[in-house]
């Protein structure tokens, strides 16, 4: 399998191992495989047996081997087994599913795919644990080192730092929007005291942090000299790791429903998203042939993506227009993964893609696809629906679920809120994003109870903090990195 950049007019390609360490393409584009491998009902039936008999890591090996052909299969299996197991995650299943009590059996109901049983209690652990193993493997194979530069709106940072902690040859520099994360999220990151982990609070919002990462990566000489790599979902390896849990959730829900047509049965997924990474993995799974009827995109008050899927206009917001909400991990107004989907939407036409993301977005801050034939058939071709949720919505959803004995975090509540608006004949699987403990203030407001703190996080909020403040300035960031690697 070879990989191409969304912005490369020359059609050059690269191997998986090369793009693993590169992250962002040299031309500023994002890597995608030359094609999406196709699976049929017979393959899905076989993968059902693999998951039942051999577990999540075995399923992951099957799926990832379709995209990774420059790592020997036995080595890839070992990487998956070290990333996804019952010692790293709270359950041997790695990804559990459960049905919401409000759901009727008439149409299969609403289900939760539990993705937050990892070491930092967020779905980001699902991909980061694999990424840490892949980085360590490839760096050792090449005899080199790596400097990871990333940005986080809350959960990516802690998941990345815990996945990279203690790994040979890796330094991590993680940008956070100053004062924009919950106390628990800050504590998870800033409590780490390690010479190779560097937390940086930037004066701005997440989009500013993300722009700094792209600006520094755009300096080719600096990137090469310091061997910069990425853990954000601009890195294809991070995204393809997330594809696995769509297949696992589909397999487990259709098995639980026990229907005769389980190997072809359609489901829909509702996905809380701000950066389009989580739902982009669902788009890829659907393109591969997983029987997904609809991908229901759920945003919070920062509804840039919902606006596009309703109107065809993609309009990024300035920092001053990005609301600070009670689902802060989705306080994003510039979705870095969205370019991958638009590339597919436009038939992988690089010139048309560049016109939108380089010319129009760079100059006007928006582009409009509303009058194109591609947008007119978007829902039919790709299955997307969208909606948004606000603070009152998520609090009401959390309160109602708690009355039924289910406690969820505010981002998952956004997903459930929007999922309810699109109930249909097929089962709906909502992707859980984090454990409630990470957002205790909103949980208490909604339910009146303090969320349970898992034993592994006892004393976390009282731990010493290790974080440096920086201005929103690429030159200052480069100086900071150069002084520490």
Domain ranges for the chain, please list them. 95-120+236-447
> What pLDDT is recorded for position 242?
98
d(CA 140, CA 22): 16
d(CA 54, CA 76): 15
Cα dihedral 83, 458, 329, 130, rounded to 10, equals -10
> What pLDDT is recorded for position 365?
93
* Residues 361-399: tens digit of each pLDDT: 989 999 999 999 999 999 999 999 999 999 999 999 999
124, 214, 223, 334: the catalytic one is 124
Are 298 and 290 in contact, with CB atoms under 8 Å apart?
no
d(CA 107, CA 291): 16
Does the CA dihedral 298-303-308-311 come out positive or negative? positive
Q: What is the DSSP string of 2-51?
A: -EEETT-TT---B-HHHHHHH-S-TTS--EEESS-----HHHHHHHHHHH
> What pLDDT is recorded for position 105?
61
pLDDT classification of 142: cutoffs 50, 70, 90:
very high
Please indicate whether residue 127 or residue 234 has the higher confidence score (pLDDT): 127
d(CA 211, CA 203): 13
What's the pTM? Answer: 0.93
d(CA 23, CA 174): 15
Please indicate whether residue 56 or residue 331 has the higher confidence score (pLDDT): 56
Q: What backbone phi and psi angles, to 5 degrees, belong to 217?
A: -65, -25
Catalytic residue flag (residue 124)? yes
* Residues 399-440: tens digit of each pLDDT: 999 999 999 999 999 999 999 999 878 999 999 999 999 999
CATH number of 95-120+236-447: 3.40.50.1100
Question: HSE of 153 in the Cβ direction (CA atoms, 13 Å)?
Answer: 27
């Amino acid at each position: 399998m070879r990989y191409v950049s969304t912005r490369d007019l020359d059609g050059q390609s690269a191997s998986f191992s090369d793009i693993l360490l590169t992250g962002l393409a040299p031309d500023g584009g994002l890597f995608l495989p030359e094609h999406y491998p196709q699976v049929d009902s017979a393959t899905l039936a076989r993968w059902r047996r693999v998951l039942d008999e051999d577990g999540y890591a075995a399923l992951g090996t099957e799926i990832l081997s379709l995209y990774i052909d420059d790592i020997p299969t036995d080595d890839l299996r070992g990487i998956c087994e070290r990333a996804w197991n019952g010692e790293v995650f709270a359950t041997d299943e790695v990804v559990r599913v459960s049905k919401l009590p409000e759901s009727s059996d008439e149409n299969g109901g609403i289900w939760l795919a539990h993705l937050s049983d990892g070491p930092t209690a967020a779905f980001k652990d699902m991909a980061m644990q694999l990424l840490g193993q892949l980085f360590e493997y490839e760096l050792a194979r090449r005899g080199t080192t790596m400097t990871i530069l990333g940005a986080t709106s809350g959960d990516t940072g802690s998941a990345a730092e815990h996945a990279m902690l203690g790994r040979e040859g890796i330094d991590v520099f993680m940008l956070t929007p100053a004062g924009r994360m919950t106390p628990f999220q800050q504590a998870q990151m800033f409590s780490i005291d390690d010479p190779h982990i560097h937390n940086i609070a930037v004066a701005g919002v997440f989009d500013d942090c993300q722009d700094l990462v792209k600006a520094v990566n755009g300096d080719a000489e600096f990137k090469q000299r310091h061997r910069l790599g990425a853990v954000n979902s601009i890195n294809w390896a991070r995204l393809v790791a997330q594809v696995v849990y769509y297949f696992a959730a589909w397999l487990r829900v259709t098995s639980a429903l026990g229907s005769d047509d389980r190997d072809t049965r359609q489901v829909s997924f509702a996905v809380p998203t701000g950066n389009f990474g989580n739902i982009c993995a669902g788009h890829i799974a659907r393109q591969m042939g997983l029987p997904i009827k609809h991908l229901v995109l759920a945003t919070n008050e920062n509804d840039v993506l919902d606006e596009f899927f309703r109107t065809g206009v993609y309009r990024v917001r300035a920092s001053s227009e990005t609301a600070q909400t009670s689902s802060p991990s989705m306080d994003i107004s510039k979705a870095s993964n969205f370019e991958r989907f638009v590339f597919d939407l436009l038939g992988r036409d690089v010139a048309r893609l560049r016109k939108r993301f380089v010319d129009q977005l760079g100059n006007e801050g928006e582009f409009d696809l509303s009058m194109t034939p591609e947008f007119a058939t978007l829902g039919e071709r790709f299955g997307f629906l969208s909606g948004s949720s606000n603070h009152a919505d998520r609090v009401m959803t959390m309160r109602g679920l708690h009355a039924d004995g289910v406690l969820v975090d505010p981002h998952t509540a956004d997903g459930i809120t929007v999922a309810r608006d699109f109930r249909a004949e097929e089962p709906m699987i909502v992707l859980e994003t984090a454990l409630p403990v990470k957002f205790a203030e909103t949980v208490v407001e909604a339910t009146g109870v303090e969320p349970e703190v898992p034993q592994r996080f006892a004393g976390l909020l009282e731990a010493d903090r290790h974080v440096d403040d920086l201005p929103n300035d690429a030159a200052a960031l480069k100086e900071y990195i150069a002084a520490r690697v």
